[in-house]
Structure 1
Amino acid sequence: MRAALLRLLLALGLPVLLAAVWWAVSTGSTDVYWPPLRTILETGREVWTAERITTDVVPSVLRLLIGFTAAGVLGVALGVVIGTFPRVRAVTEPVLEFLRAVPPPVLVPVIMLFAGIGDTMKVVVIVSGCVWPVLLNTVEGVRAVDGVLAETARSYGVGGLARLRHLVLPSASPQIFAGLRQALSIGVILMVISEMFAASNGLGFAVVQFQRSFAIPEMWSGILLLGLLGVLLALVFRVVERRALAWYHGLRRSRRTS
């Protein structure tokens, strides 16, 4: 109990300190572009009502979840194939390196030509950036499967889907989740960028609209809401990761204590 309380205090300490410094420094500010934090919070409470959350926040989160899920499935599937077969890896590696080097925001105008300006475009933009950390981490995780375990599975005739399910994916899962964690932060960024182009709703759209109409406190409140959304998604992901990799974390703890 005491350890959990200490971890909570350590996690909240820096954000509370930064918020206190921001509050103190910005108090009494008359700069239109740097309003006091108190004004931003009061404005945010008025702006982000239940109706506004339904029309802007919910669509953004849905696009992010759909794109993140699609990127995860695609990245793991391709990563398993590429990591398992050296010849496939040798053929695809130059192309993958080329595509990975292209920044996803640059592809937004191109994607708009093929997918239009609706939700499909925004989801495709998110997938185009989120798939790479998942794919590359999956490839490395599959390649790092313990040789002794692989030989043991081969000796006992474990192959096909059974080998994939009971050996390859469990062994690669720590690196797969590392890729998914990176992809989540990239997805939030691309969610906002995609909503800045020809959009009619979403958090990115709202922040840009506030900026263009010089509603500066409202703009800052949207930025703060994006940060809080990122923190919440990270916490949810951490809970899912700990449950899915409970065996892995338990093994690491046992190694440290032995």
Structure 2
Amino acid sequence: MRTLLLRTVFVLALPAVLVAVWWVASEDSTDVYWPPLSTILETFPDVWTADRLTGDVVPSVLRLSGGYALAAVVGVGLGTVIGSYRRVRAVCEPVLEFLRAVPPPVLVPVIMLFAGIGDTMKVAVIASGCVWPILLNTVEGVRAVDPVMAETARSYGLTGAARLRHVVLRSASPQIFAGLRQALSIGIILMVISEMFAASNGLGFTIVQFQRSFAIPDMWTGILVLGLLGFLLSVVFQLVERRVLGWYHGLRAATRRSP
């Protein structure tokens, strides 16, 4: 209980300090683009009603979930194949290095030509950026599978899907989750960017509309909602990661305790 309390204090300490600094620094502000934090917080409940949350936040989360899930499936699937076979890796590596160097926002106009301006385009933009950290981390994780472990599994007749599941993916899972964590932050950024192009709802669309109509406090509330969404998704990701990688964290803790 004491450990949990201390961890909670450490987690909340820095945000509390930053909010306090923001409050004090902006309290006497008369700049139209830098309103006091008190004004932003007073505006918040008037702007983000249940209808706006349903009409803007929910569609954004659904697009992010769709693009992120697609990137995870493609990234882990292709990464496993490329990491398992040296010849495939030698053929694909130059192309992968070229494609991952292209910033995903640059692809928005190109994707719009093929996918239109609907949700398909937004999901494709999110997936196109999220896939690279997942793919590359999966490749490196599969390549780093312990040869002794792989040989032992082969000796016991563990082949095919069973070997892939219990040896390859399990061994590579810490690095795969590292790629998934990186992809989550990229996905949130691309979610906002994709909604700034020919959209009629979503967080990115709403924030831009507030900015264009000079509703600056409303715009800042949208930025706060975006930050809170990122924080909640990070917490959910950590819970899932700790559950899936419980064996890994337990092994590391045991290693640290051993003399």
TM-score, length-scaled by structure 2: 0.99
1:207 counterpart residue number:
207
Q: What is the aligned-residue identity percentage?
A: 76
How far is 1:42 from its partner?
A: 1.0
1:257 counterpart residue number:
257
SS of residue matched to 1:126: helix
Deviates more, 1:56-65 or 1:158-167: 158-167
2:140 counterpart residue number:
140
Q: Deviations over 1:5-53 (max 9, x none)?
A: 1111011001000101110111121110000001111111110000000
Q: Distance in 2 between matches of 1:140 and 1:83?
A: 7
1:184 counterpart residue number:
184
Matched AA of 2:37: L
1:12-31 alignment runs, 5 A limit:
12-31=12-31
2:32 counterpart residue number:
32
Q: Deviations over 1:170-225 (max 9, x none)?
A: 00000000000000000000000000000000000000000001000000110011
Matched AA of 2:45: R
Structure 2 spans left out of the alignment, 5+ residues: none
Q: Distance in 2 between matches of 1:189 and 1:211?
A: 18
Deviates more, 1:201-210 or 1:22-31: 22-31
Q: Distance in 1 between matches of 2:86 and 2:147?
A: 15
SS of residue matched to 1:34: coil
Q: Deviations over 1:203-258 (max 9, x none)?
A: 00000000001000000110011001000000000000000000000000000001
Q: Deviations over 1:123-159 (max 9, x none)?
A: 0000000000000000000000011011111222221
Matched AA of 2:232: L
2:108 counterpart residue number:
108
SS of residue matched to 1:152: helix
1:124-135 alignment runs, 5 A limit:
124-135=124-135
2:172 counterpart residue number:
172
**Pair 1:9-2:31 in alignment:** no
**Pair 1:233-2:259 in alignment:** no
Q: Distance in 1 between matches of 2:173 and 2:217?
A: 43
Matched AA of 2:215: A
Q: Distance in 2 between matches of 1:54 and 1:34?
A: 28
**Pair 1:156-2:156 in alignment:** yes
Q: Distance in 2 between matches of 1:118 and 1:44?
A: 29
Once superposed, which parts of structure 1, at least 4 consecutive aligned residues long, lie more than 3 Å away?
none
1:83-94 alignment runs, 5 A limit:
83-94=83-94
How far is 1:114 from its partner?
A: 0.2
Deviates more, 1:156-165 or 1:47-56: 156-165
2:52 counterpart residue number:
52
How far is 1:94 from its partner?
A: 0.3
Q: Distance in 2 between matches of 1:16 and 1:150?
A: 48
Say what the alpha-carbon RMSD is for the aligned residues.
0.5
Structure 1 spans left out of the alignment, 5+ residues: none
1:195 counterpart residue number:
195
How far is 1:63 from its partner?
A: 0.4
Matched AA of 2:170: P
Matched AA of 2:15: P
Q: Distance in 2 between matches of 1:156 and 1:232?
A: 43
2:68 counterpart residue number:
68
Matched AA of 1:186: I
Q: Deviations over 1:100-119 (max 9, x none)?
A: 00000000000000000000
SS of residue matched to 1:145: coil
